[in-house]
Structure formats: C-alpha cells, structure tokens
Amino acid sequence: MRQISIISLLLVSSLGFNHCIFSQSLKAKDVEGLWYGNYYLTTGTNYELIVEIKALRKSQVEVQLYYPSYFNSKYKAIGVINQDSVLIGSTSVTQGVGNFLVDYDDQMLLAFDGSTLKGTYLVNGEIFADVSLENESVIDENQRSVYRNLINESNQKFGQSLVGNELRLDIDSLSQVAIENVASFNNLNVSTMLIEGNVTAGGIEFPARMEFHMPESMYIELDFQGQKFLKVSNEVINWEYDPFNDELTIDSLSEETDNNKADNSYDNFIGTLASSIEGGFKISNVQKSFLNKMEAYRLTLEKDNEKRYFSIDPKTANLLRQEVAGKVNSYGNYQTFEGIPIPTSTTEFQSNGQVLEFTFDNFQFNISLDTNKLKIPEHLKGKIKPTNNPNAYTDKAGVYFNEGEYEEAKKYYELAIKSQGEAGWIYHRIGKCSHRLGSYYEAIGFYQKAISIDPEDAVYYNDMGLSKYDLGDYKNALIDFEKALSIDSNMAVTHSNKANSYYFLNEKEKAFESFSKAIELDSSNANFYANHGIVGVEVGIYSEARNSLKSAINLSYDNSAKMYNWIGISFYREEVYDSAVMYFTEAININDTQYNYVKNLAMAYYELDKMDKAQLYFEDALELNNEDDDLLNYLGLTFYNMGDYDGANYYFNKAITINSKNATYYDNRAYTYEQLGSYTKAIEDLTTSIQLYPDDAEVFYRRGLIYKLQHNNFNACQDFKKAAEMEHEEAEEAFKNCKISDG
C-alpha cells in the first residue's frame, strides 16, 4: 500500500488551506535574504547552492534556488513556514536544466537555526540530497568573493539559458519541422561520415577525428601531443584506450544495451530532436527562452517517465541546445555541407562540471573508411584493465565476437554462463557465434535455450528463423518469423526475412507484400527496395517495381548496375524495347564486365531488329561467357536474320555442342541448312528435334516442306498429316493437296 509522507501532508495543509492557524515562532521575514552553502547528493556528488528567499505573507515565501556548478541552473518555488522550518514545494526551472522525469515531485524541508538552514531534499518521497546553508550575514568577504567568482565562471562556462513563459504554438507543425530539418540530412543516404576538427578541454586544444559507420559504429581519435586517446563503439562492444595510463577498458553490450546506443551515432553532433520525436517522444510544452540573450523556443518532450528539452532557432528551426539524460549540448556556427546546415561548433557540458568544446572544419560523407579501426589492435589487447567486473567474461567474449573469432567468443560466453548463471541474451550470443561459424543446427539449439528463458523476445525467434532459412528450411523459418512479428510487428528486417522465405517457397506475390511492409516500416533501407523491385518484376507489377528499383538507387544501393538492369528487364517484358535499351546501357556504363547486362542489351536490340548492334553486344557478351548456349543460339539467329547463313550455322553448331538436348537449336540449324540447300542435313536436324520434343506441329510441317523440295511427296504428306492432326492450319491445307498412292 502506498504511504503518504508526513512532509507531503504538511505541504498540502500549508499550501492548500490559507485559513489554517499555525502555532509557530518563525516568520517569513526571519528567513528573508541570501543563503549560501552546499547540496550533497546521496551519490556523493556535491554542488554549491545559493538560495534567495523573499517573504510573500506571514507564513509564505518565494524561493529561488541557484546551482552555479550544475549547468548554471536556477529554479523557483513557493515555500511555507511551519514551526521552525521552511518547507519548499515543487520547483520549476527558470534558467539552465530542467528535471528529466515526468513523474517528479520534489520538496525541500529546511530547519531554521538562527543563521543556518539545514535539512533534506526529497524526490517522490525519497531522500535525494542533504542541504546545508548559511545566512549571508555570517559569510565573510573572502567567502563572498569565492561565490562571486564561481558565478562568473559558471556564466562563462555554461552560458545563460533563461526559461520564459509558455507559448501557444502549433505543436504538430513544430514536430514536423523538427523532423524535416534532419530528414534533409538523412536524404543524403549517409553510410559513412568523417568529421575533423579540434577539441578543447581544460584550456588545452588538440586535434580530433571522428568516423561514423552508419547506423551504429563510431571511431573517435583525440591526439594529445602525439598520444592518441581512442574511443570506439561497434555492434558488440564499446572500448577506450587511455594512453596516459596505458590501459584499455572494454564494455560488452547485451541485447538490452544494444537498444540504447545513442552515444554511437552522429546524433550527438547534429542533435537528437528528430530521432526523439521519431522514437515516440511527444512535445508537451513550448516556452520562450533566451540562450545568451538570443531568442529561442524551448521544447519539452515526454515519453513514458522521461523528459528531454530542446531549444531551437525560431526562424530556421536549427537546434541550438539539448538537455538529454543528464547531459547538455549546445550547437552553433551552422554552415552548409552538401546543401545541409550542420553545426560546426558543439559544446558538451557534463554534470561533473567538465566542458568539452568541439570545432569542426571538415565534413565528408560516404567516403571509404577503414572498418578495421573498430577492432581492438593486437598491440593493445594485452593492456586490458584488470577488473572485478562480474561481466568480465562477456566483455572478453564481446571482443572476440567483434574480431570475428567466434570459437573464442563462444568459449567465454559459456564461461560467463558458468560464473554468472543462465541468461537468455548470452545463449542468444552463443547462437549467433554458431550461426556465423555455419553450425546452423547448433545455433538453433542455443536460440531455443534463449527463448526458454525469455519467451517474449522477438529477436531470438527472428535469428532462429535465419538459421533455418540458411538450412533451406523455409517453411519452418517462416513460422519463426511469424512468431517474432506476433511479439513485435514493427521489426522491418523480420518482414524482409519473411519475404525471402516466401520467395524461395515460390509464393512471390506474398513475398512482394512482405517486402512492401518492410519498406513501410523502414523507408531508408535500400535492400528492401531492391528486393521489392526484383520480385515485383518477376510477378509482373512493373510500374511499382520500377519505383522501388529507382528508390534503391537513390538510397545508394551497393549494386546500382543491377537495379538498372532489372528496370531494363521490366521494360523488355512489357515490350518497350527502346526504354529497355536505355536502362541496360546504363547498367553496362557502371559495370561492363557482367555478361548478363551485355546479353540483355543485345536481346533488346535484337527485338528492335537492329541486328548490327545486337551482333556487337552478343559478341561482347560471348567474350565474357562462352559457355552460354542460349547466347550462342541468339547470335546464330542474329546472323540468320542478316542473311549470313554460314555464320548462323557456326553458332548453332556451338550451341548444340554445349547443349544437345534443346530441340529449338536443331530447328534453327535446320532452317539454316535449308537456306544453304542442304536439305538432307535439315531433315536430320528436324528429325532429332521431333525425337526430343514430339509435340511441336510446326516442326512436322517444316520437315514436310523440305521433303516436298526433295520431291518426296510420301514423306511430305505423312508429316502434313501429322501436323494437321495437331491442328496446324497450314498443314491441313497442304495435306488436302496431297496425292498419296495406295502402293
């Protein structure tokens, strides 16, 4: 049962009923003035605190609490006098940083003893800090000077972020502007980003290099006069190297921490406002504010029990300041890179008072970056800091996993289970190791163990489905993907995996629908669009397929030539051969070594009856692959259509040498022999064709015509009769004219 604290009751009775009569000796005017002292958090952190109290009524006071070292923050509140104490109610920010909890009920109870106020600060009924203050009357000039210097330093270090009155603005429009302001950056389809500049800390400036491998890997290098401090985050671990202590510290990531890796993205440098809104945070309040005398809008965002604060420029909507999870960043000096406004100066204020200033002069996007930097260098592996960390085994396993040494990673994950006990996420990691080693059945076993511990984790079902998929067990993989989506229907990658399973089960319409859902959930994934487009072409949804293939190209799909080729195929199948030629040509301009692209272009020219160009590209394709019997057959047809029957015969011979079971090749060579007057050879080829495929009436009819050229009316009429029985109209007419003797 929830208990109501005595302090809460005192606050309600004091503030809620103005006509209550108190038996008290202390009056509001007794505590007026300035009070100096400290605010001691239960965590051990200490902040200087300056409190200004003004009497409002006999038992009511107005209070301003000023924490110079805590982001130069000020708060206001109303307090009441009760006996010999001051009870200060919930505070609201007027300068600096607000509280980060939605459910935040704070109170301060201070006992008065002439020249001191001492007591506790409570948050949601729990003691959060001890407070000790002295009246200004007992503070000597040296102490006053210390506080004045502290205030000046805080103003210089943190600046002034004044919080004003609430504004009545269209919150939905503000949300959309915030998203669009970063969407333009996202439209660059950034896969890598390099930032170079300088960092200033403690008055010392040193070069900095930051490399981002989207979406979640980061490499930072700070050069302290030749000594390089390294900080790296990747899929599995965070690690840092401190050159001054010559120590490497690592932190492996469980699935829980995998989902909370804001420090690993470029968001810290362009702000998390858009990603917060896209992640479900809602703007609950907009206030007018001033950042170092510059007007701004201060947005309060809420989700669950968390608050975040963002200040934006009213004119440009550029982010100027953010307060997220106890950390404050300011942004300025916006410049345009690739048409996108990006802050070239960023200041990070930490709760311990440390300030880091970043100035950037070089931004490069989508350049080649060395992914080996994300791995721990061999010469640093022996410098791992000794630790009593109970997660030491998983930390080390994470290092090996990141290095691709999955056998070693498995060994340490298994040791972690022995030392720490069973955990679903560790079994899941062992399963991933087994999968990457190609031991799919073993991986499935570990995923099943993970699921037995955490049966509602959708990722476990998804990854188990992937192991079954790689075994070719598409039906059971599909069951796992469906289960994952029943737990979390917003997993775009699982919809994509489901689509791939449908594809290999030859249910391509369902595959197309599942790829559509994946795109709906993640419209930035080029692979989803590429697969959606290819399947769309295969099922004949050509227009929508082309749109997806073009989107994949715009999203920097890693094989744009393939996309152009498939767009060409879509037009070819619609018999729009001019457009097919255009896109096949574009594919070849990017990659002229892929013989399918060259062959497809030749085929399109063939259909346009441009035999000279068809010949040129068929021969180019033949140089890339001289074992394609279909290609050789088409090259023979090209020569045939140009009247070069010897050339045609040469390529039909080659096609038959490679594939002697294709009846069509014998038909085509027979027509060539017919044109060359070699009727006997033509009849032999047509006879072979009939043996391979006896259900083609046209072949019987053609052989009958050649028999007729040889004046062999009997055999000719026999073939016409056979073709007529198969409802060949011309053969029926020819058979009517037959005169076959009874003998």
Q: Provide the 10 A C-beta neighbour count for residue 668.
A: 23
Q: What pLDDT, on the 0 to 100 scale, is given for residue 324?
A: 84
CA distance 192 to 194: 7
Query: Domain boundary residue among 96, 129, 155?
Result: 96
pLDDT at 129 over 60: yes
- Of 236-250, 545-559, 566-580, where does mean pLDDT reach its minimum? 236-250
Q: What pLDDT, on the 0 to 100 scale, is given for residue 388?
A: 52
Q: Are 605 and 581 in contact (CB under 8 A)?
A: yes
- Of 179-183, 302-306, 322-326, 564-568, where does mean pLDDT reach its minimum? 179-183
The string of pLDDT tens digits covering residues 404-462 is 899 999 998 988 888 778 899 999 999 999 999 999 999 999 999 999 999 999 999 99
Q: How far is CA 513 from the centre of its chain?
A: 22
- Closest listed residue to residue 68, CA positions, set 163, 155, 164, 197: 155
pLDDT at 26 over 70: yes
3-state DSSP assignment of residue 591: coil
Over range 115-142, report the average pLDDT.
Answer: 89
pLDDT at 24 over 90: no
Over range 624-635, report the average pLDDT.
Answer: 95
Q: What pLDDT, on the 0 to 100 scale, is given for residue 614?
A: 95
Over range 371-384, report the average pLDDT.
Answer: 79
The string of pLDDT tens digits covering residues 247-263 is 887 765 554 444 444 33
Q: How many domains does the chain have?
A: 4
Q: What is the pTM of this model?
A: 0.60
Over range 325-339, report the average pLDDT.
Answer: 82
Most confident by average pLDDT, 299-313, 373-387, 449-463: 449-463
Alpha helices (H) along 522-610: 526-539, 542-554, 560-573, 577-590, 595-607
Asked whether residue 296 is assigned to any structural domain, the reply reads yes
CA distance 718 to 705: 11
Query: Domain boundary residue among 303, 332, 361?
Result: 332
Asked whether residue 502 is assigned to any structural domain, the reply reads no
Q: Are 136 and 154 in contact (CB under 8 A)?
A: no
Domain that holds residue 353: 341-374
39 shares its domain with 62: yes
pLDDT above 70 coverage of the chain, percent: 87
Q: Are 545 and 536 in contact (CB under 8 A)?
A: yes
Find tokens 């609201």 and name the residue. Answer: 92
Q: How confident is the model at residue 180 (pLDDT cuts 50, 70, 90)?
A: low
Over range 84-101, report the average pLDDT.
Answer: 83
2 vs 277, more confident: 277
92 shares its domain with 12: yes
Most confident by average pLDDT, 137-146, 379-388, 530-539: 530-539
Q: What pLDDT, on the 0 to 100 scale, is given for residue 156?
A: 80
Q: What pLDDT, on the 0 to 100 scale, is given for residue 444?
A: 96
354 vs 141, more confident: 141
Contact residues for 461 (Cβ-Cβ < 8 A; gap 6+): 447, 451, 480, 481, 483, 484, 487
Q: What pLDDT, on the 0 to 100 scale, is given for residue 318?
A: 83
pLDDT at 280 over 60: yes
Q: How confident is the model at residue 654 (pLDDT cuts 50, 70, 90)?
A: very high
Q: Provide the 10 A C-beta neighbour count for residue 149.
A: 11
Helix (H) or strand (E) run with residue 116 in it: strand 116-123
Over range 559-571, report the average pLDDT.
Answer: 96
Asked whether residue 538 is assigned to any structural domain, the reply reads no
Asked whether residue 722 is assigned to any structural domain, the reply reads no
pLDDT at 138 over 60: yes
CA distance 19 to 17: 6
29 shares its domain with 67: yes
Asked whether residue 212 is assigned to any structural domain, the reply reads yes
Most confident by average pLDDT, 156-170, 187-201, 285-299, 640-654: 640-654
pLDDT at 649 over 80: yes
3-state DSSP assignment of residue 188: coil
Q: How confident is the model at residue 386 (pLDDT cuts 50, 70, 90)?
A: low
Q: Are 611 and 604 in contact (CB under 8 A)?
A: no
346 shares its domain with 325: no
Q: What pLDDT, on the 0 to 100 scale, is given for residue 741?
A: 43
Query: Domain boundary residue among 200, 219, 250?
Result: 250
22 shares its domain with 73: yes
Asked whether residue 243 is assigned to any structural domain, the reply reads yes
Q: How confident is the model at residue 174 (pLDDT cuts 50, 70, 90)?
A: low
23 shares its domain with 81: yes
Per-chain mean pLDDT for the chain:
85
45 shares its domain with 89: yes
78 vs 82, more confident: 78
Preceding omega of 215 cis (within 30 degrees of 0): yes
The string of pLDDT tens digits covering residues 118-128 is 999 888 888 88
- Of 88-92, 531-535, 547-551, where does mean pLDDT reach its minimum? 88-92
277 shares its domain with 348: no
Residues in the chain: 743
79 shares its domain with 18: yes
The string of pLDDT tens digits covering residues 494-546 is 999 999 999 999 999 999 999 999 999 999 899 999 999 999 999 999 999 99
381 vs 64, more confident: 64
- Of 239-248, 404-413, 577-586, 635-644, where does mean pLDDT reach its minimum? 239-248
Asked whether residue 532 is assigned to any structural domain, the reply reads no
Over range 703-713, report the average pLDDT.
Answer: 94
CA distance 245 to 741: 110
13 shares its domain with 76: yes
Q: Which two tokens stand for residue 153?
A: 């330093």
Asked whether residue 617 is assigned to any structural domain, the reply reads no
Q: What pLDDT, on the 0 to 100 scale, is given for residue 384?
A: 67
Q: What pLDDT, on the 0 to 100 scale, is given for residue 230?
A: 87
67 shares its domain with 86: yes
470 vs 299, more confident: 470
53 shares its domain with 14: yes
pLDDT at 6 over 60: no
Q: What pLDDT, on the 0 to 100 scale, is given for residue 251?
A: 67
Q: Provide the 10 A C-beta neighbour count for residue 314.
A: 13
H and E: helices and strands count for the chain: 27, 23
